[in-house]
Chain A
Amino acid sequence: MTCPTILIIDDSQAIRLAVREVLGQAGFTICEAADGEEGRRVIEERDDISLVLCDVNMPRMDGLSMLEMVKADPRNAELPILMLTTEGEPGMVRRARDAGARGWIVKPFQPELLLTAVRRLAVSAEARAAK
């Protein structure tokens, strides 16, 4: 079985490292981007991404704008995207859901919960891709 690849988009290197640590140990392959613009480019160029974790407040392009842009492309309709952020205002969360995000995780996150959520989504995404 291949290891699903997870893209983490966050301008904080500390968060990227923490995610790499938690998910890497669990056997996932991790790739990184430091802002929405870079994240969008990675999603555009690579076809092996099983799941995206994305911050909201970032320079150049914020996470919600990136989400809306990526989801506007029908090729990404099935790509699970989780927002990983310190924000939690209900209006913002609604905007993310309406744009097609699959979940909203407030930082600082509990590692085992993050892992549960990622496993649930990445594995089903893999299974879909395999069909």
Chain B
Amino acid sequence: MKHLVPGEHTVLVVDPGEGSRAILEGRLKAQGYHVLSTGSPAEAASQALAEPPGAVVARLWMPSISGVQLCHLLKAEAATAHVPVILLGTGYTPRSRFLAEHAGASYVRAGAMGAVLRTIERAIMEAPPGDGFFTMLGNMDVRDRIAAELDRRLFDSMLAAEVRSLAACESFDRLFDQLSQLLCRQCPYGWVALSTASGDRIGVHAHPSGHEAAVAAARAALGLPDAALLAVIDEDARPAAEGDRVRTTVVHVGSTELGTLAIGADLGDPEVVCALELVARELGVPMRVALLVEETRKLALYDPLTSVMNRRAFIGHMSRPEEAHRATTLCMLDIDHFKAVNDSLGHAGGDSVLQAIGRLLGELSRSQGGVPCRWGGEEFLFAVPGRARDGGRALGETIRQRVQKLELVAPDGSLFHVSVSVGVTIGEQGEPLLHVVNRADARMYQAKEAGRNQVMAA
């Protein structure tokens, strides 16, 4: 166990009240400490910076410079950042303790001399050793310096609050858009980029001139040549410049890594580095919220097996005014003898059939439009806006033939095929969706009864 030798340590006492200062000074000297004391907080600051003491003990409330302000200054300075500060309050007020501890000080009631001495002793024993570095302020006004430090902290808290408020964005794209709008008002840069930890997405904000080079540089910096890109190109970024260099910072919440923030800018400008570090530090929670909301939405709306919309999402989609106010061509397809597939190939085999059909409908949706949905079990819907002239027969046939051509691989490696029965109907403008679905369902049953692997349309 380490023992404190008070004679090896200097305690700087700051108290404008001569009586109380003398009492504390006397008690500290009696303990064996080397003591320096002053009634002026400004003098105390210059003194502490020029010869960092073992501890500073100050009144929390003092005229002109408060103990809290003095502490903020000492903690911001390289010479005194390691020096423990003990602030003495006049009574038990929770707010005083909060202010003191928030500034990095210990808080003790001034009257409790035993507690004051114990706190000083513990603080000195726990403090990291200094390296002798000092700062002499010359004629520089300590008050100006404190004002500058408090301003810096105020700006930092304002920026931090703005970054945290991005938690309302609820999606990666919106988050990045708002983030770039915020960041470009903090410091000039050629580009800024944010990637997700999974590496599937990257947002880049750059100036229109040379934005392709900026995107390439951002992709290279983040090591993501193929991630899906969200490009925000506008003149709020500045054109890339000769001396721009790249800096990356990981964004995390606790030990969970969420992504990486990268910037291409003049890194000699301390404002750039400060803004980037602060934003990266505060971005964790908003980014986590955005990604969780996206993920939750995806889980709630998409069928996890086939990646097409589930019934709830499809009903929501079709109820939007732009869909409800026009006619729809709706196909319902049901896999023929699906129970036999499950029985002979197991559920993994059945799942692979469902996935193949989900993929096929997804491709169809991308190539010619339309919305696929897993309605339930082995039933799928495919809705195309507008009234097909042939009542949707051609669309139903396309789907039926493509399913029949699917080459499926059984667990034992052999190839097999499946077929679907398709019912098609036209949903009229304003007609309740469930009526339309029921009609398509009835047609699909007619197709089943007529021998399966065929299309029944109006």
Contacts and interface: CB of A to CB of B under 8 A. Distances in A.
A108 B140 CA distance: 8
A103 B134 CA distance: 5
Interface of A: 88-94, 96-98, 101-110, 113-114, 117
B78 A109 contact: no
A96 B136 contact: no
23 contacts: A88-B135, A90-B76, A90-B78, A90-B149, A91-B270, A93-B79, A97-B131, A102-B133, A103-B133, A103-B134, A103-B135, A103-B136, A104-B78, A104-B79, A104-B135, A106-B139, A108-B138, A108-B139, A109-B136, A110-B139, A113-B50, A117-B134, A117-B136
A60 B348 CA distance: 72
Given A88-B145, A113-B50, A93 B136 contact: no
Given A90-B76, A108-B139, A117-B136, 16 more contacts: A88-B145, A89-B270, A90-B78, A90-B149, A91-B270, A93-B77, A97-B79, A101-B133, A102-B133, A104-B134, A105-B135, A105-B138, A106-B139, A109-B138, A113-B136, A117-B50
B201 to A, nearest CB: 33
A90 B140 CA distance: 13
Contacts of B132: 102
B138 A94 contact: no
A102 B131 CA distance: 8
A105 B79 CA distance: 11
Contacts of B133: 97, 101-104
B274 interface: yes
B83 to A, nearest CB: 14
A109 B134 CA distance: 14
A116 to B, nearest CB: 9
A97 B79 CA distance: 8
A22 to B, nearest CB: 13
Interface in B127-158: 131-140, 145, 149
Contact of A93 (B50, B78, B139, B274): B78
A97 B80 CA distance: 12
Query: Which interface residue of A91, A92, A96, A114 has the most chain B CB atoms within 10 A?
Result: A91
Contacts of A102: 132-134
Q: 3 shortest A-B CB distances, which residue pairs?
A: A97-B78, A106-B138, A104-B135
Nearest to B274: A91
A70 B138 CA distance: 26
A105 B50 CA distance: 9
